[in-house]
């Protein structure tokens, strides 16, 4: 560490002493000018440069954060990408809210230099570097800058920290059940019980079953850990959760790979037995690795999450959240009732029971808040923590169910508008196609089919049982067919514009389907199996790819958006089938009745560890348990945060370096 900083400081001094001698071709650490972009490699056109400057100015106006970009041929003195970028940042006095994206166009290296105390988390920086890598490999430097700015703005302005996507998991159980599961899991591990049979000794059918179960459990674990991380960040800040965030990022990568393999197994393409066994075995390995990484870090939260130290404050916060959610529930129910007078039942299937489900969550939260208040009054902080956490997650689920109603209402309304616009566009296509020569009758057939679809769509949109998203999907199919007829009369510019128009509508529809599927599965995830989750994961990935290509390659983005829409629809169908066949009754069922009926409920298949009896134990992952928080997070020696990798990335395999501590402190740039 001392040698590294000695190297960086030496380099900084060299930069400051030789700043006036830097030329357009220099690749030593450089001095920034008055703009956000310095292109010494000469790879940006004047238009690209102007667009990049405008976008980075917009980033600062929206977030107060600067992103500077330097493009050179090679990184030299030092040649390491991270050290070069950090040296340039230090030499130019960049502050905590100022970042530097350094790109070596000939050396094929890049790195984002950041201060440890900056507002963008390490995980988000790593995700941004990964996102721009394909564009850099294609030498699309302008696109990479635009995407990096977009990612920064999204990370800095998102209230949920990402995403997503997205996504709260609820699991509540009686303390006795928690203790039993934790003790049973620990005894099995400690006693060195019988190990699972080697993969080679397991039948293909059993291997597939285990892979599906592992995929569900790993998905549960990642989602639960994501929520745990969000809670910890909100309460304790990013610095205390860096290691867990890194483990969660790695676990998500493994899970995405596993979902991709599961999709290959589930698609219509026949697989050999060898492929089936190989892919299922790989799914098992990826899931076990993801689970192990999360378990390794879970113990660090035990001490951190001792809610008995601030139980009164936490109780007041959850009570306030519960009041706010309950106050919005009646309005959400009225919105749903209004929608029932406008849309067909199948259009509302994913939110049909959301008000009732939300009320059940709030009723459970009330019970837990009452228990927590009693425990706080009696000085039992451990018991209070268990009840507060259960109430906290129940309220979060109720909020999700409420929000899903408004989100779908907006999506259906937008679907109606898009369908009406597409009908008008199809009328023009019909007229254009009718004027074309038709020696074999293909045009007449396409026109007749399109006319029938347009008339059907108009009838549906004028009824009191509308199905806007389904109608829009049918219109898109008709649009694709007639486009094949009129495509020959359109020039390339008109075709590109047409693709962008179609893509915008398709992206809206795909986003609506993905949102509906995510809301439905997340709120009922205890009953949803691997097929629905896999379709949803693949739909989300296709949608992200489509959005990345939306501006630069709309023709390539369109089939990706269509695939996202189709997979999300399949996810809803599989999830509804799973929920319909899920045994054990409704919310809180199967708990044995009596006073323990609701307390014994398990929502989403997640078990929350009791914090009674002091720290220790971490998270039992026999199911996908919530876990506690535990010691060691604040202990140990100092030092900066570590990215835990060798650098930003490489345009080609094996040729990208960097990584390590980001250590800039103080100062600023104007």
Average pLDDT over residues 573-583: 85
pLDDT at residue 53 is higher than 80: yes
Mean pLDDT of 54-65: 91
Mean pLDDT over all residues of the chain?
A: 76
Residue 301: pLDDT band by 50, 70, 90 thresholds?
low
Closest C-alpha among 448, 478, 643, 537 to residue 264: 537
- 189 pLDDT band, cuts 50/70/90, is very low
Give, to the nearest 10 degrees, the angle between helix 175-191 and helix 381-434: 90
Span 103-119, mean pLDDT? 91
Nearest-5° angle of CA 40, CA 44, CA 46? Answer: 110
Question: Is pLDDT of 415 > 80?
Answer: yes
pLDDT single digits (tens) 342-354: 899 999 999 999 9
Assign 593 a pLDDT band (cuts: 50, 70, 90): very low
**Residue 14: pLDDT band by 50, 70, 90 thresholds?**
very low
Whether residue 549 lies inside any domain: the answer is yes
Taking the CA atoms of the chain, what radius of gyration do you get in angstroms? 28
Query: Looking at the predicted structure, is the pLDDT value of residue 617 above 60?
Result: no
**Token pair of 481, please?**
């067919």
Asked if residues 43 and 139 have their Cβ atoms less than 8 Å apart, the reply is yes
Tokens coding 5: 């900083």
Residue 654 included in any domain: no
Decide if 597 is inside a domain: no
As a whole number of angstroms, the distance between CA 604 and CA 578 comes to: 13
How far apart are alpha carbons 513 and 213 in whole angstroms?
25
The more confident residue out of 187 and 402 is: 402
- The number of distinct structural domains making up the chain is 2
Could you tell me if residue 663 is inside a domain? no
How high is the pLDDT of residue 239? 59
- 85 pLDDT higher than 80: yes
Q: Are 509 and 415 in contact (CB under 8 A)?
A: yes
Give the separation between CA 558 and CA 565, rounded to whole angstroms: 11
Alpha-carbon gap, residue 35 to 230, rounded angstroms: 36
Q: What are phi and psi of 264, to 5 degrees?
A: -65, -40
Asked whether the predicted pLDDT for residue 649 surpasses 90, the reply is no
Lowest mean pLDDT among 138-147, 149-158, 262-271, 438-447: 438-447
Region 108-113 average pLDDT: 94
Rounded to whole angstroms, the Cα distance separating 82 from 420 reads: 52
Query: Burial level of 661, CB count in 10 A (0-12/13-18/19+)?
Result: middle
Residues in the chain: 670
pLDDT at 196: 54
Tell me if 520 sits within 8 A of 350, measured CB to CB. Answer: yes
User: What's the pLDDT score for residue 26?
Assistant: 53
Q: Which domain holds residue 545?
A: 420-580
Q: Is residue 557 part of a domain?
A: yes
Name the more confident of 552 and 669.
552
pLDDT of 169: 34
Domain boundary pick from 580, 603, 634: 580
pLDDT value at position 358? 94
Last residue of a domain, one of 120, 136, 157: 157
Summarised one tens digit per residue, pLDDT across range 463-502 is 888 889 888 888 888 888 888 776 654 554 466 677 778 8
- Phi-psi label, residue 610: left if phi above 0, alpha if psi -120 to 50, beta otherwise: beta
Point out the least confidently predicted range of 166-175, 180-189, 199-208, 490-499: 180-189
pLDDT at 148 over 50: yes
Angle, helices 354-378 vs 381-434, to 10°: value is 160
d(CA 547, CA 465): 31
- 46 belongs to a structural domain: yes
On whether the CB atoms of residues 618 and 637 are closer than 8 A, the answer is no
Alpha helix segments (H runs only) across 435-467: 442-461
Over residues 420-429, mean pLDDT:
88
pLDDT at 505 over 50: yes
Specify the pTM: 0.39
Task: Please give the pLDDT value at position 589.
Answer: 37
Asked whether residue 122 is assigned to any structural domain, the reply reads yes
Residue 76, domain member (yes or no)? yes
pLDDT at 387: 82
Structure tokens at 651: 């345009």
Q: How confident is the model at residue 643 (pLDDT cuts 50, 70, 90)?
A: very low
Cβ neighbour number for residue 380 with a 10 Å cutoff: 18
The sign one gets for the Cα dihedral 548, 554, 559, 562 is positive
Whether residue 25 has pLDDT greater than 70: no
201: pLDDT confidence band, cut at 50, 70 and 90? confident
The pLDDT of residue 573 is: 93
3-state secondary structure (DSSP) of residue 113? strand
- Token pair, residue 473, equals 């999907």
User: What was the pLDDT predicted at 529?
Assistant: 93
Question: Where is the domain boundary, 131, 157, 183?
Answer: 157
667 has pLDDT over 50: no
In terms of pLDDT, which residue wins out, 238 or 375? 375
Could you write out the DSSP letters of every residue in 43-103? -S-HHHHHHHHHHHHHHHHHHS-EEEEEEES---SS-SHHHHHHHHHHHTT--TTEEEEEE
Q: Any idea what the CATH number is for the domain that residue 75 is in?
A: 3.10.310.50
* Residue 88, pLDDT score: 92
Which residues on adjacent β-strands are paired with residue 72? Answer: 104
DSSP for 235-301, written as a single string: HH-SGGGHHHHHHHHHHHHHHHHHHHHHHHHHSSS---HHHHHHHHHHHHHHHHHHHHHHHHHHTHH
Least confidently predicted of 121-135, 202-216, 597-611: 597-611
**pLDDT recorded at residue 374:** 92
Q: Counting runs of H as helices and runs of E as strands, what totals does the chain give?
A: 19, 5
């Amino acid at each position: 560490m001392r040698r590294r900083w000695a190297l960086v400081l030496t380099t900084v001094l060299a930069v400051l002493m030789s700043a006036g001698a830097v030329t357009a071709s220099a690749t030593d650490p450089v001095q920034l000018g008055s703009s956000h972009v310095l292109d010494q490699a000469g790879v940006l056109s004047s238009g690209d440069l102007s667009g990049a400057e405008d976008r980075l100015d917009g980033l600062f106006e929206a977030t107060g954060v600067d992103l500077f970009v330097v493009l050179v041929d090679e990184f030299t003195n030092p040649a390491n990408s991270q050290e070069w970028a950090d040296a340039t940042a230090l030499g130019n006095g960049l502050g905590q809210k100022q970042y530097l994206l350094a790109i070596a166009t000939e050396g094929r290296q890049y790195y984002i230099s950041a201060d440890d105390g900056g507002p963008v988390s390490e995980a988000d920086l790593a995700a941004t570097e990964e996102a721009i890598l394909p564009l850099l490999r294609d030498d699309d430097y302008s696109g990479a800058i635009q995407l990096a700015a977009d990612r920064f703005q999204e990370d800095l302005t998102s209230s949920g920290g990402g995403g997503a996507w997205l996504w709260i998991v609820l699991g509540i159980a009686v303390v006795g059940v928690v203790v039993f599961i934790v003790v049973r899991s620990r005894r099995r591990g400690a006693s060195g019980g019988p190990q699972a049979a080697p993969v080679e000794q397991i039948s293909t059918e059993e291997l597939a079953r285990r892979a599906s179960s592992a995929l569900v459990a790993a998905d549960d674990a990642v989602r639960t850990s994501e929520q745990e991380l969000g809670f910890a960040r909100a309460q304790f800040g990013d610095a205390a959760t860096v290691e867990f965030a890194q483990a969660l990022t790695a676990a998500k990568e493994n899970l995405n790979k596993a979902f991709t393999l599961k999709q290959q197994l589930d698609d219509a393409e026949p697989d050999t037995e060898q492929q089936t066994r190989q892919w299922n075995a790989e799914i098992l390995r990826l899931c076990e690795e993801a689970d192990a990484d999360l378990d390794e870090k879970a113990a660090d939260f035990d001490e951190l999450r001792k809610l008995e130290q601030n139980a009164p404050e936490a109780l007041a916060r959850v009570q306030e959240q519960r009041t706010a959610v309950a106050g919005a529930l009646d309005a959400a129910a009225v919105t749903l009732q209004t929608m029932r007078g406008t849309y067909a039942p199948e259009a509302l299937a994913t939110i049909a029971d959301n008000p009732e489900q939300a009320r059940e969550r709030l009723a459970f939260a009330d019970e837990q808040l009452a228990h927590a208040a009693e425990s706080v009054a009696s000085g039992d902080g451990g018991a209070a923590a268990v009840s507060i956490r259960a109430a906290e997650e129940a309220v979060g689920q109720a909020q999700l169910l409420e929000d899903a109603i408004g989100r779908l209402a907006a999506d259906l309304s937008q679907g109606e508008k898009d369908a009406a616009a597409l009908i008008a566009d199809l009328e023009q296509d019909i007229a254009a196609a009718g004027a074309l020569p038709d020696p074999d009758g293909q045009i007449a057939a396409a026109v007749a089919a399109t006319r029938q679809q347009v008339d059907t769509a108009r009838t549906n949109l004028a009824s009191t049982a509308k199905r806007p998203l389904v109608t829009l999907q049918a219109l898109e199919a008709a649009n694709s067919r007639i486009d094949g007829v009129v495509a020959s009369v359109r020039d390339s510019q008109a075709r590109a514009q047409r693709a962008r128009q179609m893509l915008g509508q398709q992206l809206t529809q795909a986003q609506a389907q993905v949102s509906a599927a995510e809301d439905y599965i997340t709120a009922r995830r205890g009953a949803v199996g691997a097929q629905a989750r896999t379709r949803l994961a693949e739909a989300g990935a296709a949608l992200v790819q489509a959005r990345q290509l939306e501006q630069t390659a709309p023709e390539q983005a369109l089939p990706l958006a269509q695939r996202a829409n189709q997979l999300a629809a399949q996810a809803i169908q599989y999830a509804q089938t799973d929920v319909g066949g899920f045994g054990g009754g409704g919310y809180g069922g199967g708990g044995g009745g009596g006073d323990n009926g609701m307390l014994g409920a398990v929502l989403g298949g997640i078990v929350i560890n009791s914090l009674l009896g002091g720290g220790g134990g971490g998270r039992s992952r026999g199911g996908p348990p919530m876990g506690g928080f535990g010691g060691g997070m604040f202990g140990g020696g100092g030092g900066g945060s570590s990215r835990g990798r060798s650098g930003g990335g490489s345009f080609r395999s094996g040729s990208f370096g960097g990584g390590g501590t980001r250590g800039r402190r103080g100062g600023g740039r104007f």
